[in-house]
Amino acid sequence: MILQPIPAALRRLLTGMACLALPALALADDGNAITPYRPSVSSPAQLPAEGQLEMELGGLRNSSGDARRDSLPYQFKLAFSKEWGVLLGGEAHVSARDIGVRESGIGDTNLVLKHAWVADDTNASGLEFGIKLPTAKDTLGSGKADYTLNLIESSDHGPLHVDINLNATRLGAIDPDTGRAQFGLSASFSMPLAEHWSATAELSGTHRHGVANSAQVLAAVSFSPSKRLTFDIGTARAQRPAPGSNLFFAGVVFPITQLW
């Protein structure tokens, strides 16, 4: 994995995210704890606290050779009960450059309905049904809707937390002689490092007929000054398909309001 210096744009983004999250820090002990889904590809089975609207915001840089793609991913999370919740996310802005051609605009939007089965304090299962809405222009997205079913198993093994995701996606836009169904598998492992610090490592990949398999390894650290605020920063290397790409990301998770 190649570690890169923090781009100036992401340094400014980190400063902006810290300012946005200051109200959550000021109310550190007032309210329910957050349930971060960042920074890994895998989702945990657990839902946020019932009625608490949470926001996840970040910056992502993906570079491969001379091509570069910068984006501002976001996600809102809300649980209607202990078993049901909804997620709304996407990319608030995308800037892509390849061989001197630059495109920018909003990205696609993802809407997810989630169901959780919590067995006990250490084991939970989840099921997500999501649709990717093609809100980005064709040069920044596929221009078609995608549908995903995601199965989740989350468990604690002492200090180690594990999230395993197995999903299938029906792609709306495909090339000739390639499959429409894409299958993905990811496994995320996280554990505390100190009182306010934790680390995450993850392996993930996809398979689709007629297309080279993808494979990615991710590493990140998170800082939680309170139970209601978490910052993360990390890097990932997509080994496949060739020639591969390097990712750098940073983000924050905080509650917006308690709706009920």
Q: What is the pLDDT of residue 11?
A: 58
Task: Note whether residue 1 is domain-resident.
Answer: no
What share of residues in the chain are helix, strand, coil (percent, to 5)?
A: 5, 60, 30
End-to-end CA distance of the chain: 44
Number of structural domains found in the chain: 1
Task: Note whether residue 50 is domain-resident.
Answer: yes
DSSP 172-232: S---TTS-SEEEEEEEEEEEESSSSEEEEEEEEEEEETTEEEEEEEEEEEEEEEETTEEEE
**Contact in structure between 36 and 56 (CB atoms under 8 Å):** yes
pLDDT digits (tens, 9 = 90+) for 41-64: 999 999 999 999 999 999 999 998
According to DSSP, the residues that pair with 233 across neighbouring strands are 221, 250
Task: Note whether residue 139 is domain-resident.
Answer: yes
Q: Can you tell me which residue has the tokens 């990712």? A: 247
Q: What is the pLDDT of residue 243?
A: 82
Task: Note whether residue 3 is domain-resident.
Answer: no
Task: Note whether residue 2 is domain-resident.
Answer: no
Q: What is the pLDDT of residue 109?
A: 98
Q: Kindly report the pTM of this predicted structure.
A: 0.90
Q: What is the pLDDT of residue 93?
A: 95
- Give the residue numbers spanning the domain of 213: 8-258
Task: Note whether residue 106 is domain-resident.
Answer: yes
Task: Note whether residue 23 is domain-resident.
Answer: yes
Work out the number of other CB atoms within 10 angstroms of the CB of residue 178. Answer: 12
Task: Note whether residue 151 is domain-resident.
Answer: yes
Q: What is the pLDDT of residue 3?
A: 40
Helices (DSSP H) in the chain: which residue ranges? 8-26
CATH of residue 241: 2.40.160.40
Among 247, 257, 255, CA closest to 39: 247
- Which parts of the chain sit beneath pLDDT 70? 1-29
Instruction: Report d(CA 55, CA 251) in Å as an integer.
Output: 11
Pairing of strands 101-105, 84-98: antiparallel
